Structure 1
Amino acid sequence: MAGASAGPGSEIVIEAERVRKTFVQRRRIAGQRLRRERIDVHAVRDVSFTVRAGEIIGYLGPNGAGKSTTIKMLIGVLTPSAGRLRVAGLDPAHQRIALARRIGVVFGQRSTLWWDLPLRDSFELVRHLYRVPPGQFRANLARFVEMLDLGPFLDTPVRQLSLGQRMRGDLTAAFLHDPSIVYLDEPTIGLDVVSKAAVRAFLAEKNREQATTIMLTTHDTADIEQLCQRVLVIDHGRLGFDGDLATLRERLGGERTLVVDLAAPMPPLTVATPGAHVIRVDGPRQWLAFPARASAAPLVAEIAARYPLVDLAIREPPIEDVITRLYTTGPEPRPAAEPAAN
């Protein structure tokens, strides 16, 4: 993957154990002007996971699933209603200032920069806030200006920057103090193709060079496929999946596609491989669908033995289809508790 580093280390830097977050709302009772009833909204329910140093984690889920609430608990903005959280060995809610020096945060829809100041001055304020040594600050800023092409608008007030320029500025601000952990909430939302590519390349390089642990929430499936070594999927506050993309695709089934290039146009191929069938024909090229959990080898061998084959390729099911299927099927059921021993 583009974002792969030398590999995650053995150190656990984020630990969540049966974490919950419940918000209390008051709603007026129909027909009664003064009385209101209490409603508990369970934003996060018994979420448990660990993240090792150097991992890039995709934290996925539909709107309202609990992603941003989890991130806010991890950075100490919100306090869990129950459960245990540790980030870099610290309790985020009670050691927030100490933790702030170890982490970076980017919220795609809210800038951390100073709106009326030139971008360069915003970076200077970040340096003072995090007490970054001058030499380290100059070296990092020069490197980020080169990587993210910030030079042409360093002296432009933040309010005059385009969305893509501002996002590159926010990323720079988040990484200036060399954090060991960075949280990104929709970092490519609304960006054009060029800006997205720049953001992904920057994140991949920081992970590769410094083993920075990155946890990002995103609806952009290209972010997931190009950056993430592992994905967590949350829906209705519960964690439904924790693993790599290949496992997610395999677990949820669906179909893969075998694209076959023949020596000459032919009618739709007839194959005996269970579950395989032609879904499209375009001249000498034909597309055959087969179950995602099945091996492609029998189908390939059959076509090679029976037809004049020139080339072939296997296409995995689109990741957006896989994730949508997980959202609609819901989280995996928890295993039943074993009976206590007599």
Structure 2
Amino acid sequence: MTADRRHQGRYEEEPFVVHTLARTSAPRLLLTGALGLVLALGGCSDEPTEAPVPSTRAADIAADKVSPPQPVVPPTWPLTGVAAADVVNRPALAVKIENPPEVRPQTGLDQADVVWEQVVEGGVTRFVAVYHSVVPDEVGPIRSVRPMDPAIAAPLHGVMAFSGGQPGFVRALADAGLQIVSHDEGDPGFYRTRGRAAPHNVFGTPATFLSQADAGHQASPGEQFRIARRPELATAAASGTPAGTVALTMSRSSQPSWTWDAATATWLRSESGTPANAASGARLAATNVVVLRVDLIDSGTTDPAGSPVPETRLTGTGEALVATGGRTVAATWSKDDLATPLALVGADGQPVQLAPGKTWVELVPNGTGSVTLG
């Protein structure tokens, strides 16, 4: 999701100017007889004056040159690499949002800088939506945390808001250095909406969540991915294989896909063939889609219904696919520990750069999941 990821600012070079210093004829002494000296000023003598001789000394040449202005590189949002004049220093906010069919369309999902999709019990998926450059008015439905969430959110060193979670999962978030904002603990910003049945009716106000950040969680996040300064410099866009669709099987009940849309220069999301929208009506879209092949293991716990809770192993290394600009490139992902951001390396051994914009990360299980390009 830090280096190499900023827009290049534009600037105009001033024309190269060489200034020529005007020279005046120096006074000349003329001898008029054995004892007399007459001072003759240039222009008053009948003798011809000499034309100025251009200086060839290095010091004179250097003094006459005008240095070109330095390029102006505007600040960029760390999670998207998008340039802006008003980049704000504030913590990243990660929110746990659910995704079964009955809760769609979700609120605020279209405004996240980065979205991580993971498989949970029953084969449904759940999101960790990360907000930084945009703080929406409302997000939801908000649900409980899972054992892989510390590995996803810890590198942000920010705030994580959620509703519910086993004590061990919640404790792991705090141990990973995140500040917890919990509905169960009565923290401000959560509320239940009408028209939805519990537990699918918990929503929240991101501004209120962020207002609770303590002194140790005030800073902006670091870069989570390498991001090129311009879209055409992104690795997949520059050297990838053309692709129109990226179809995923997360589980038997979850089959999202992404279709390249040249008009908006984004990948458009669908759920089992149906266009996926946010509650605002906006189509869910991403500039970059990062697919990670991961191991899904048994966490050793069960949910209230008795179903085993799976855990996505997100440390170590594995295969990856990066889709940007209507093209894809194979890569390898690695993550040394919970606090370290994910690294993506291409077949040439060089870091993979994303394009400036929003990124969705798909955690596709090895063995039971699949990735199909079209």
TM-score normalized with structure 2 length:
0.21
Say which one has the larger Rg.
2
Q: Which has the higher helix share?
A: 1
